[in-house]
Structure 1
Amino acid sequence: MRISVELVPRSEAALLADAATVRDALPQASALNIPDLLRFPLRSWEACALTHGVMPASIPHIRAIDIPPGEDLPMAEAILAAGLTEILVIKGDPPHDMSRRTWPNSSEDIIRRCKRRHPGLRVYAAFDPYRQGFRDELDAVARKRDAGADGFFTQPLFDLRLLEICAEMLRGQCVFWGIAPVLGERSRAYWETTNRVIFPADFAATLEWNRDFARRALATIDELGGNAYLMPVRVNLDAYLRGLLPG
């Protein structure tokens, strides 16, 4: 089982400090995945070029709607020059600043373009069981596989029963299963409203519940032969990660 940790690229100094915390607090982690957040000046592939020397692997997120027409990806040269071998392609949300140019690409469009130009690059796509019905999401999985996707990163899950159902749906695929701590009722309301998450009846928005769930989820994912990524947003990294796994 590979374990990745998602980090927010607020600044170079903060990112390197967070990467060092992950390495020290969770030695079982072997990768970082970094989103491309328009509110920060550091792009995901630039951030991964920095962290590539801290962890064995760094995986930048690429927003499909930010890619202009053309054969190649604008950031491909920088990705390859940094020695990065994996990327995650998502469609991307429209920017709040409407003066920022976007294009009507689907994630499949960019996956297909990337695999055509850079077949040695491992490309992951997104899977979200909350976004739409299972049948529609499975159809999206098929389209992304046909475009050349090598595997999937899921939206964070909070229920082991749903994880096992989704594992049946994605049987035979390389999957990084998402786990995210949700602390406080305001954070819970955000996940329910924005991401359409349904929490289990025993959920508690506490550090203790979330650490216990992460342990149980990681054990289940390991048994399923999958990979995992932890998304510790707005939580103390050391408090959440340290001692999460034995050894």
Structure 2
Amino acid sequence: MTRPKVSFEFFPPKSLEASFRLWDCVHALSPLEPEFVSVTYGAGGTTRTLTHEAVGTIHKATGLTVAGHLTCVDASRAETLEIAESYAAAGVTEIVALRGDPPKGAGGFRANPDGFGSSVELIEALADTGKFTIRVGAYPEKHPESADAKADIDWLKRKIDAGATSAITQFFFEAETFFRFRDACVKAGIDAPIIPGILPIENWEGARRFAKSCGTSIPQVVEDAFTNATRDGTTDLLATALATELCDDLLQGGVDHLHFYTLNRPELTRDVCHALGISPRVRLQQVA
């Protein structure tokens, strides 16, 4: 089997301790030669400046291809495009373009009066610059705000048609969930790569809350397994085994790129990659 491509998502640090953790994560995973790494925005655009700083610093310090997240939340069109231009000026030409989550307690997304009203509008504006490779989000299970799964696929097609070149999915627990979604996308005429998002579970209670908020269904067998593993103190072993099995099923089904949500903790992601045979390449020294 050909060595699959991998990519990693980080989030920007909000403290000195978090900065060290981010850099430990970057240095632990960069030897795996990711296709790209991405840096998120917080809900409501709360980490906009921190994200921009982290994107620029990672790109400059490591030479990795970095994709900066960019959202429509709480910013005018001019402010949003100014951030995009600053990415380009720093040599960062990949963007993950998202509508973005509203601030907590906001009761739903409300566009800035002078801002982009949707991710499609943002993608169109970024594509018009001709400066960026644009990636977008996708939901293999129904988005909490969507009428149905078909509406999600229709919206994804609009994003691809607007100028996006690939999509990264929300996390899921079963490979069949991804395969059904991928097949539905092909049937709808979407020919851009759909990259599965993988979440090695560092904290089960946190993952359960996240799954509920984004519409990810949890199989009962997974729920039971983590209940038992929590009691026995073996959650890391279980998380590694489940993520490795999921990734292997995806690779056997023709997937060639895995995107890991690291939560700035590299150990589980690195262990899963190693279990899949994705490890730093040995470089032979030239003999003088």
TM tier relative to shorter chain:
0.7 to 0.9
Give the superposition deviation at 1:97: 8.7
The answer to whether the aligner puts 1:159 opposite 2:174 as a matched pair is yes
CA distance in 2, matches of 1:50, 1:233: 18
CA contact (8 A) 1:175 1:226 kept: no
The answer to whether the aligner puts 1:56 opposite 2:64 as a matched pair is yes
CA distance in 1, matches of 2:123, 2:46: 24
Give the superposition deviation at 1:48: 1.4
Q: Which residue pairs with 1:145 in the alignment? A: 160
Q: Which residue pairs with 1:35 in the alignment? A: 40
The answer to whether the aligner puts 1:78 opposite 2:109 as a matched pair is no
Match of residue 91, structure 1, among 93, 99, 103: 99
CA distance in 2, matches of 1:42, 1:226: 33
CA distance in 1, matches of 2:249, 2:182: 10
Instruction: List, as ranges, runs of 4+ consecutive aligned residues in structure 1 with deviation greater than 4 Å.
Output: 38-42
Q: How many residues align?
A: 241
Taking a change above 3 Å as real, the CA distance of residues 187 and 68 of structure 1, as seen in their structure-2 partners, is same
Give the superposition deviation at 1:13: 4.1
Greater alpha carbon shift after TM alignment, 119-128 vs 167-176: 167-176
Taking a change above 3 Å as real, the CA distance of residues 230 and 185 of structure 1, as seen in their structure-2 partners, is closer
Q: Which residue pairs with 1:241 in the alignment? A: 270
Counting only pairs closer than 5 Å after superposition, residues 99-114 of structure 1 correspond to structure 2 as 102=112, 103=115, 105-114=117-126
Give the superposition deviation at 1:217: 3.1
CA contact (8 A) 2:169 2:194 kept: yes
Local SS of the residue matching 1:73: helix
Local SS of the residue matching 2:221: coil
* Paired-residue identity, %: 18
Local SS of the residue matching 1:62: strand
CA RMSD of aligned residues (A): 2.7
CA contact (8 A) 1:67 1:74 kept: no
Local SS of the residue matching 1:75: helix
Local SS of the residue matching 2:219: coil
Q: Which residue pairs with 1:123 in the alignment? A: 134
CA contact (8 A) 2:51 2:68 kept: yes
Amino acid at match of 2:66: S
Give the superposition deviation at 1:187: 2.0
CA distance in 1, matches of 2:78, 2:207: 41
Q: Which residue pairs with 1:209 in the alignment? A: 238
Instruction: Give a deviation string over 1:28-47, Cα, whole Å, max 9, x none.
Output: 53421110124547432321
Q: Which runs of 5+ in 2 are unaligned?
A: 227-234, 280-288
CA contact (8 A) 1:72 1:113 kept: no
Instruction: Give a deviation string over 1:124-175, Cα, whole Å, max 9, x none.
Output: 1111123142211111012112211111111111111101111212333212
Q: Which has the larger radius of gyration?
A: 2
Local SS of the residue matching 1:5: strand
CA contact (8 A) 1:174 1:226 kept: no
Considering fraction of residues, name the structure with more helix.
2
Q: Which runs of 5+ in 1 are unaligned?
A: none
CA contact (8 A) 2:41 2:48 kept: no
